[in-house]
Structure 1
Amino acid sequence: MCSKIPSRAWVAMMLFWGTFVNYMFRSHYQISLLAMVEPRNNETVGDFGPRFDWSYEWEQHSISALFYGLTIISIPAGLFVTFFGPYNVLVYTSMLMASFSGAIVPMALYVGPGGVFAMRFLIGIMVGLQYPAMQNLVSNWATPQEKGKFVACMMGNTFGSVITMPAASLVIEELGWKWSFYFLFPTVLVFIIAMFLLVADHPRNYRWIRQEELEYIEASHGTTVSTEKKKKNPPYLKIFLSCPFYALVAGQFGNQYILFLTLTIVPQYLKRVLGFNLKASAGIAALPHLSRLIFGFFFGGINDFLIGKGVPKSYCRKGFTLFSHILTGASLCLFLAIGSSSVAAICLLVLMMAFNGAAVVTVLVNTQDLAPNWSGTLYGIMNFFGGWGGFVQPILVEKLTRENTIGQWAIVFTIGGAVGIVTGIIFILFGSTELQSWNQIEEEGQSAK
């Protein structure tokens, strides 16, 4: 390994790649679905392979299936990470995801929408386990001054959507929709190999680390992060009695609701309302995610700079919430006013997700403030509640957009905007950056002070 590159830089790179892979599985299906089902409302379609005559309701349920799996696994995900370690969780879930991306899902399509629902539900469990594992790696590897940049590296999820949406549409148009499932496999396989070489649960277990870097990381953590692997049960009772954690849960629900809206609903809106073809829909749907990626690193850098200059973390977390939630929500509400202008709609989506890039220094990093030893557990629990938006939204779209009018879709976006604004206000009022007393891992026979 190149001695001039810090070991934590390799781990940060793998966080980026891990979230990239995670969102490949979340984002490609929405594009594939448009090519798989019978067209609606006089849509212009190409011949990309066999088409299935599913009801609109079943289409939305098949999208929701992944989020059902993600939500159900989120609370016990912290236990999985604690007892098996983030490295094992990431490697073995990725192996299973790679397997599902092969022949299994396309075969399930011929069973019917129920078969697809089951496969996407299982994939949802895999992707739901991964984020708590990655939060655990951030706790173990990032110094306090670098946490904004480390969490910004988890914006690889956004880059995964940026690449996957147009790539999937290109594969579909050239080879057919079945290949949109197969093309995921090589990327996941390379990721797994890189994990074997470049990642360990903790700096102390890392084969390539230099002694001076290990000492620097551990000195920066002080007593806030355990240096040993302890298989302890998370302090669930204390977590569920924590007001700052409930504020974080509210903030994450709003953030996830907005993110799932752009991930699962926007491609349908672009094709079915604004009339873009499959390739154009995928390419344009990726633009908001690209703006979120760029501004995520921008906000992460600004946050670390301000904290390095002595600005209190609480000012940064709550100040940037004005961008990640309030302005993002306000942008969504403007869909009521733009009518049928496709240019205005696209500009609003890009602006909205640029604002939401600030989430990397608000709700996405706040688990590290409250309890870095249990960051994976906290992230899993807040994703349990945040994941509800992923299966509520398709049902909401199915109920509200039956006539497929611009006004009906504007209501869908306005609801999302209101959710973002309200949850952002809750996080500003009740959130905290103080290290919680229950962060301390209790030794046998001892009580936490």
Structure 2
Amino acid sequence: MPDTKKDRLHPELHSGPSVLQATDNQLQATDNHLQASASPMSLSAQPPVVFGELVILGYNGQLPHGNKGRRRSKYVLHRRPKANGVKPFRKHIVKNPHSSKAVQDSHQHSVSYTLSRNQAVIVEYKEDPDTDMFQIGRSSEDQIDFVVMDTVPGNLRRECESVSQSTISRFACRILVERNPPFTARIYAAGFDSARNIFLGEKAVKWYSGEEIDGLTTNGVFLMQPPGHFSHSTSGGVWREVSVGGTVYALRESRSTPHKSNQIVEENNILQDGTLIDLCGATLLWRSAAGLTASPSEHEFESLVDDINAGRPQCPVGLMTLVLPRKGTLGINDKKPFVYTKCGHVHGQHQWGQGDNNDDNRTCPLCLTTSPFIKLKMGAELSLYVDNEHPTFCFSPCGHMASEKTVRYWSQVAVPHGCQGFHAVCPFCATPLDNDPSIVKLIFQDYTD
């Protein structure tokens, strides 16, 4: 008799007809139980619909202590089994918002705008069967889908492992995505707390005209839409601020100025592929599911790295073959590549050319140019790539490698630096870029056989 799957799993089938019949009944009962408990997705073998993903700048694919639960370096937005979106329903004026029925009802979403000690406007929200809602913030409560903490730049990470006082709101913002194509995503400042409420206190920036009620959060939620398509962009766009109601405004004089700026009527809160979202302490990149097709897959990226390694690049001093690390690998110590940032010549680690002042500068033995000598590291978060080309450029001073177009794009994008202005950073480690040079073209001594 052939060794069937049923024979291997149930050897008692050979014990006799009565046992065979009993076991068949057990198998049928098990099959019925599995079918009853299986989800529609598993029965149809259809993967969940992906709306897009949010990537925190500065972590290169993983938080310093690892991605755990809802606190990760990246969050993928899937269509939910059941819609949980909400939309404004009606508003009314009350004397005390905390005693209002809408606020006290734990099943009712509401936004309370306190105008004075004796007056507040409450906007009630109702369920929206056409959208899914995702909330982002510092809080670890269940209402937050993506827990985001303050980003410590890579060049300061050893000195400062954490931020003593965060500037990111506990309930920073929310994104509503249409459940049907084209899956339009919109962002709004502030998120609902565990009681499904949003409170804008008396000191918060808000305005009420009798028809319109809206407001801004303390440190604001900033947006930067890329000009044109992300994969074709060569520079960043203009930073704006989005309100609780989703309206777009020019930036205030300072992040916490208690007055709103001018509304940008021709712009909206719809997320485009490549939109940056700043939460005053962390900057996130939105990638749409369609836009991600322009970035390399892991397999494609490994092939791009292998192409460079196939040339067997050599160190001109030590004459050893250098090996670029693929994603997820650390590389071999004596084969790790380094680069002179002024000229771009790639070497292995060596002691030649060091000066007497013990600084980071060395003299390149190929062209005698003096510059910092830094270790190259692979930019492994592929969602940050704007194209699918070989990683032949790097950022200075951190040494993260990526494609030329990716490195040039991010060197032109100034992101908010807390409340202290804007500067360009390496998207893989959040280290502020040097002014001269901020990017380096890598020159390999390859195909020398």
Larger radius of gyration, structure 1 or 2? Answer: 2
Name the TM-score, length of structure 1 as normaliser: 0.23
TM-score normalised by L of structure 2: 0.23
Higher relative helix content? 1
Q: Which has the higher contact order (CA 8 A, sep 6+)?
A: 1
Give the strand-richer structure, 1 or 2.
2
